[in-house]
């Protein structure tokens, strides 16, 4: 049976960036933004936004079993985090003079990137951009506002995700 709902919470008694992701009857430790979860997300605050978010599609460095929409990441892929641009919180192609997040990262944290439906339609400037579901560091270091799982946990979870699923962050 494929999963359609993932639940994310801060770990009780933990640091603000320490979270739990619940997928069916399985729970995984996850990394959140360094400021924890917020209901008032702002660009650069280091917080993970609270809310219910569909995963629109995935960027994948390598093909894998995945029922959700995806495409292979290209070295020229980027995501705009430039608050003054009309391209704010949208995909870009490199090279660009706009402030951006590179999707082809050398640290491999973006080998799997789910684009969360946060501040996409409509886009509100300064309310946060590039909120993704991606690979975490081995130590689950804080993200800049994303939800991240260790590589081995992501590998276990991806084949279980349905075509359309939501992440509920509380």
Q: Which two tokens stand for residue 58?
A: 């995935």
154 or 1: which leads in pLDDT: 154
Confidence of residue 65 (pLDDT cuts 50, 70, 90): confident
Domains in the chain: ranges and CATH? 3-169 (2.40.440)
Contact 132, 103 (CB under 8 A): no
Band of pLDDT at residue 1, cut at 50, 70 and 90: confident
User: What pTM value is reported for the model?
Assistant: 0.95
**Stated length of the chain:** 170
Cα–Cα distance measured from residue 140 to residue 151, given in angstroms and rounded to the nearest whole number: 10
Residue 24 Rama label (left phi>0; alpha psi -120 to 50; beta): left
- Give the tokens for residue 28: 């995984």
Q: What is the pLDDT of residues 107-134, one digit of tens each?
A: 999 999 999 999 999 999 999 999 999 9
pLDDT digits (tens, 9 = 90+) for 72-98: 999 999 999 999 999 999 999 999 999
Which helix (H) or strand (E) is 132 found in, with range? strand 132-135
């Amino acid at each position: 049976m494929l999963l359609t709902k993932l639940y994310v919470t801060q770990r009780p008694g933990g640091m603000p960036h320490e979270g739990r992701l619940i997928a069916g009857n399985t729970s995984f430790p996850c990394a959140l933004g360094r400021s924890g979860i917020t209901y008032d997300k702002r660009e650069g605050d280091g917080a993970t936004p609270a809310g219910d978010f569909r995963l629109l599609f995935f960027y994948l460095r390598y093909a894998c079993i995945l029922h959700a929409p995806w495409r292979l990441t290209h070295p020229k892929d980027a995501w705009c985090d430039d608050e003054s641009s009309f391209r704010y919180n949208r995909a870009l192609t490199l090279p660009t003079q706009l402030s951006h997040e590179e999707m082809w990262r050398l640290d491999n944290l973006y080998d799997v990137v789910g684009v969360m439906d946060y501040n996409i339609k409509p886009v509100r400037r300064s309310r946060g951009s590039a909120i993704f579901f991606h690979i975490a560091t081995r130590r689950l270091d804080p993200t800049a506002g994303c939800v991240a799982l260790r590589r081995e946990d992501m590998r276990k979870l991806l084949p279980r995700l349905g075509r359309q699923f939501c992440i509920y962050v509380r």
